[in-house]
């Protein structure tokens, strides 16, 4: 779900969403309890038709009616919602864990966020300002500086942190960028780093071509080169999602999920 549907500081070329992001702030907003109640209501409506399908596991269907994890992502930039801390508080009060995915352009919101989400993702989708401006089409003039402020802030935040690199073939995953990504990742020192391939779906098909979608092998190749620059290790990968997870912790067995 997202508390900021139409508001974002970027117009990324690879964004899956329809982009009418002309607003950089939320002027009118709903209260956290209302948003959470309505999100759960919408989830129940979304899955209602599955119940009568013989292939549907009824236990899982019942569980899905009472979600215990909320991911703030989906569309827009969630940190533009001024009551995000209260929203997380409401989720945690109900025993839910929380994920936040941010584009990193709102360091003040993250510095003042109370409580922090259970897991905080910052998407770093460009190795330098030049690629950032071309690929993210920022609606703000100081976006790259603000992203770097977020990276500097990250080690001080007492939660599980993740840097996600959304990789777009022919755009931001060339070998010559590995060193710059490494420097950005070292600054943030996250718990996890997640290289993830762009997927050619939704409205991004109007701005990208199928050839911009990297193979899982290309994502893994990027990961191998990136890991040489860092004190991180391979932890897990999921082929269908074109994603590889790196962790700082001593490595466990290599696990491959096909699903």
Binding interface with ligand SF4 (CB under 6 A): 8, 10-12, 15, 17, 75-77, 103
- The whole-angstrom separation of Cα 188 and Cα 21 is 28
Three-state DSSP state, 115: coil
C-alpha distance from residue 53 to each of 49, 56, 57, 59 (Å): 8, 5, 9, 13
Alpha helices in the chain (DSSP H): 32-47, 58-64, 84-93, 107-111, 129-136, 143-153, 178-188, 216-227
Least separation in angstroms between residue 10's CB and ligand SF4 is 4
Closer to ligand SF4 at the Cβ: 168 or 235? Answer: 168
Least separation in angstroms between residue 45's CB and ligand SF4 is 24
Least separation in angstroms between residue 143's CB and ligand SF4 is 10
Q: How many helices (H) and strands (E) does the chain have?
A: 8, 8
The alpha-carbon radius of gyration of the chain (Å, integer) is 19
Closer to ligand SF4 at the Cβ: 17 or 248? Answer: 17
Least separation in angstroms between residue 29's CB and ligand SF4 is 17
Closer to ligand SF4 at the Cβ: 88 or 198? Answer: 198
- The whole-angstrom separation of Cα 160 and Cα 162 is 7
Least separation in angstroms between residue 44's CB and ligand SF4 is 25
CB atoms within 10 A of CB 251: 12
Least separation in angstroms between residue 19's CB and ligand SF4 is 6
CA 77, chain centre distance (Å): 10
Closer to ligand SF4 at the Cβ: 75 or 98? Answer: 75
Closer to ligand SF4 at the Cβ: 103 or 169? Answer: 103
Closer to ligand SF4 at the Cβ: 10 or 146? Answer: 10
- The label of the residue with tokens 């060339």 reads 174
């Amino acid at each position: 779900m997202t508390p900021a549907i139409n508001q974002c500081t970027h117009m990324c070329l690879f964004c899956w969403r329809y982009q009418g992001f002309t607003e950089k702030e939320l002027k009118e907003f709903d209260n956290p309890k209302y948003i959470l109640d309505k999100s759960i209501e919408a989830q129940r409506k979304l899955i209602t038709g599955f119940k009568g399908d013989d292939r549907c596991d009824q236990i899982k269907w019942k569980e899905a009616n009472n979600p215990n994890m909320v991911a703030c992502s989906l569309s827009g930039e969630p940190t533009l919602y001024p009551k995000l801390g209260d929203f997380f508080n409401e989720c945690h009060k109900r025993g839910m864990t929380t994920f936040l995915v941010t584009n990193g352009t709102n360091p003040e919101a993250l510095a003042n966020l109370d409580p922090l989400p259970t897991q905080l993702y910052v998407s770093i989708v460009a190795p330098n300002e030049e690629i950032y401006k071309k690929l993210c089409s920022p609606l703000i003039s100081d976006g790259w500086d603000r992203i770097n402020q977020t990276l500097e802030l990250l080690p001080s935040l007492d939660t599980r942190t993740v840097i996600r690199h959304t990789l777009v073939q022919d755009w931001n995953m060339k070998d010559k960028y590995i060193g710059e990504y490494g420097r950005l990742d070292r600054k943030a020192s996250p718990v996890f780093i997640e290289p993830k391939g762009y997927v050619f779906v939704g409205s991004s098909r109007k701005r990208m071509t199928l050839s911009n979608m990297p193979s899982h092998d290309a994502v893994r190749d990027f990961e191998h080169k990136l890991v040489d620059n860092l004190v991180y290790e391979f932890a897990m990968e999921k082929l269908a999602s074109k994603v590889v997870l790196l962790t700082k912790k001593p490595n466990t067995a290599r696990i491959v999920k096909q699903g």
